[in-house]
Amino acid sequence: MSNIYAITTRSAQYVGLSIAAFVSVFPFIWMLLGATNTSPDIIRGKISPGGALVENVMKFAAQVDLPRVMFNSLFIAGVGAILTLIVASLAGYGFEMFRSRVRERIFGVLLLMLSIPFAALMIPLFIMMANFKLINTYQAVILPTVASIFIIFYFRQATKAFPRELRDAARIDGLKEWQIFLHVYMPVMRSTYAAAMIIAFMASWNNYLWPLIVLQTNDMFTLTLAVAALNAGYTPDFGVIMVGAIVATLPTLIIFFLLQRRFVEGMLGAVK
């Protein structure tokens, strides 16, 4: 009796998971197929490879200065992530290793600030950048993202697993606090840095709203903005857009498949 019940449950699970897996993966296939089809074919729902790949790629290359846009994206995401990591790991270490009642309270306030919506910040930030004459610069995109409370929180959680006795040993060995951070903490926490780097990089790479506000000329556009720009207008060329979508997705996809474990670790980090 219970055997039949178990088999039904299991079968239902397989069916459910298969549908979910298909639905999850199909848009990727659609993206790849789309890059080979003309825009009218895509709109007509043609589910087979076409012959327009070269044409789409050529059109994409003509409309988007890929090297420039790629550089912008990589520079903004790379520099932004590195600065975020430095600032956030210092703070995470500081909050966890040097306890004081005042700092504990400040940290509590920071946690509450996690839920401040960006929408409430973007207008003052925009005016601020305008006042600093930073509109349409890399700094304008990067600076507001550097102090990420989420990544500070992540580092603090991870620092809980950093053995305090290592710091004690290093103090007895005569290291100053900044030397302990540089020579002991950073090398020991390599994998935390790697995971945090992935989240920070991805967040910046995918960021749309803030770059849309502060970046205004094509030569400063990130890949995200460039693809979004292709989408604007009444008759977007979907073949070209698919090529752009592939280019925009590829880096994160590669990071995911190369560093799958770290990737997931990074996402989970903050709740562990």
Partner 1 sequence: MAQSQLARNEQLNGWAFVMPALVLIGIFMIYPILWSLWMSFQTGRGMQLSFGGVANITRLTQDPVFLRALTNTMIFLAIQVPVMLVLALLFANALNSSSLWGRAFFRTAIFLPCVTSLVAYSVIFKSMFAGDGVINQTLLWLNIIDTPIAWLADPFWAKFVIVTAITWRWTGYNMIFYLAAMQNIDRSIYEAARIDGVPAWARFWYLTVPMLKPVILFTTVISTIGTLQLFDEPNLITLGGPSDSTLTLSMYIYNLSFKFMPNFGYAATVSYVIVILVGILSFLQFLAARDRRS
Partner 2 sequence: MSSVKLRAIHKSYGSVEVIKGVDLDIRSKEFVVFVGPSGCGKSTLLRMIAGLEQITSGNLEIGGKRMNDVDPSKRGIAMVFQSYALYPHMTVRENMGFALRFAGVAKDQIARQVSDAARILALEPLLDRLPKELSGGQRQRVAIGRAIVRNPEVFLFDEPLSNLDAELRVHMRIEIARLHKELQTTIVYVTHDQVEAMTLADTIVVLRDGIIEQVGRPLDLYDDPANQFVAGFIGSPRMNFLAATIVEKSGGALTVELQNHKNCRLVLPLTGGAIGDAVIMGVRPEHFGLPGMGNADIALDVDVAEHLGSTSYVYASADGESLVIEREESRQEERSDRITVSVSAEKIYLFDSAGQRLR
List the interface residues with partner 1, window 55-114 (CB under 8 A): 86-88, 90-91, 93-95, 97-100, 103, 106, 110, 113
Minimum gap (Å) between residue 118 Cβ and partner 2: 37
Residues 126-165 binding partner 2 (CB under 8 A) are 163, 165
**Given the complex with partner 2, which of 171 and 261 has the nearer CB atom?**
171
172 contributes a contact to partner 2 by CB under 8 A: yes
Out of 6, 12, 22, 173, the only residue in the binding site for partner 2 (CB under 8 A) is 173
Q: Which residue has the tokens 């430095």?
A: 86
**Given the complex with partner 2, which of 179 and 252 has the nearer CB atom?**
179
Residue 163 interacts, among partner 1, partner 2, none and using kind-specific CB cut-offs from 5 to 8 Å, with partner 2
Minimum gap (Å) between residue 169 Cβ and partner 2: 4
Minimum gap (Å) between residue 169 Cβ and partner 1: 17
184 contributes a contact to partner 1 by CB under 8 A: no
Residue 4 interacts, among partner 2, partner 1, none and using kind-specific CB cut-offs from 5 to 8 Å, with none
HSE, CB side, 13 Å, CA atoms: give it for residue 218: 9
Spatial CA neighbour of 250 closest among 223, 226, 220:
223
Using CA atoms, how far apart are residues 106 and 116, in angstroms rounded to an integer?
Answer: 16
Minimum gap (Å) between residue 187 Cβ and partner 2: 4
**Given the complex with partner 2, which of 41 and 96 has the nearer CB atom?**
96
Residue 46 φ then ψ, to 5°:
-75, 115
Residues 179-218 binding partner 2 (CB under 8 A) are 179, 184, 187-188, 190
Q: Is 47 exposed, middle or buried (0-12, 13-18, 19+ CB in 10 A)?
A: exposed
Q: What single-letter DSSP state applies at residue 219?
A: G
Helix%, strand%, coil% for the chain, nearest 5: 80, 0, 20
Minimum gap (Å) between residue 58 Cβ and partner 1: 19
Q: Which residue pairs, CB below 8 angstroms and at least 24 apart, start in 232-235? A: 235/39
Using CA atoms, how far apart are residues 26 and 47, in angstroms rounded to an integer?
Answer: 11
Using CA atoms, how far apart are residues 195 and 86, in angstroms rounded to an integer?
Answer: 14
